Amino acid sequence: MRFRTAVALACFVVIGAAPSADAVVSGVVPAGGIRADAALAIAVRGSQRSPENMARDRFRHPRESLSFWGLKPGMSVLEIWPSGGYWTEILAPYAKATNGRYVGALPSATRPLPAKFGDKSVYGSIATTVFNDSSGPLVPPGTVDFVLTARNLHDWMDTPGMVEKSMADFYAALKPGGILAVEQHRADSKPMVKDATDGYMSTAYVVKVAEKAGFKLDAQSEINANPKDTKDHPFGVWTLPPTRRSAPSGQPPNPAFDHSKYDAIGESDRMTLRFRKPG
């Protein structure tokens, strides 16, 4: 069954029905109501997703997170550094099914999305752009509704000015009233290490740089909190799943490293923030 047909059938089933417990996630009514949640639920559960990514949902809570951030049908969505495509597997089919648009901002033109995302029957017509420390405008100014940056900000801390550039570029891309969705490894309540070399950042720092660019913090959620995360791991956040680093960066894995303690923690404690561009 094609994705768009499945969405239509799911919407038919729930029209006129009272919201179920599953339709209201963590106290957040899904953006766009039940119809939107049906499309999102199908995108999250769809067969286009890899088993490896679906196995991570218990830590990353994609449906709850996207509902909290305010994803709605028909939005133009810009994802920053999609990497292997955890979010792309959800967002691109969702955009296709709801007459929206998906754009992936890649680190460079020589690092394309995985080949499977070329299947237009599943993912629609994916557009790409480039975001790095010397890139120009991501898209024509004021043309996207929703920008997602997930677990990226720490990667830019060792390049002076790049975090500030990112926020300025995201702000320029968004329409007035548009949403910046942020998921980031959270240092709180520990102090943030200089340049976030362990991968963790403080909420206060992220809010500060976003607000400096003109954004307003609209809401924050504990959807992706993990109280088991002690944030004092030998190889930073990358000691935890899914990376499971066992040696310093650049060195070969240590086969004698005991992962059990870190596997029991699971993926990191993360802030989940929603910013808006005023307007």
Domain boundaries, the chain: 3-276
Cis status of the peptide bond prior to 242, with omega within 30 of 0: yes
Which residue ranges in the chain fall short of pLDDT 70? Answer: 1-36
HEC-encoded secondary structure of the chain: CCHHHHHHHHHHHHCCCCCCHHHCECCECCCCHHHHHHHHHHHHHCCCCCHHHHHCHHHHCHHHHHHHHCCCCCCEEEEECCCCCCCHHHHHHHHHHCCCEEEEEECCCCCCCCHHHHCHHHHCCCEEEECCCCCCCCCCCCCEEEEEEECCHHHHCCCCCHHHHHHHHHHHHEEEEEEEEEEEEECCCCCCCHHHCCCCECHHHHHHHHHHCCCEEEEEECCCCCCCCCCCCCCHHHHCCCCCCCCCCCCCCCCCCCCHHHHHHCCCCEEEEEEECCC
Spatial distance between the Cα atoms of 211 and 209, rounded to a whole number of angstroms? 6
pLDDT for residue 37 = 74
Cis peptide bond N-terminal to 135, omega within 30: no
174: CB partners within 8 A, 6+ apart: 142, 144, 145, 147, 180, 277
- Ramachandran region, residue 253 (left: φ > 0; alpha: ψ -120 to 50; beta: rest): beta
Phi, psi (deg, nearest 5) at residue 216:
-115, 130
What pLDDT, on a 0 to 100 scale, did the predictor assign at position 99? 96
Topology (CATH level 3) of domain 3-276 = Rossmann fold (3.40.50)
Kindly report the number of other CB atoms within 10 A of residue 138's CB atom.
22
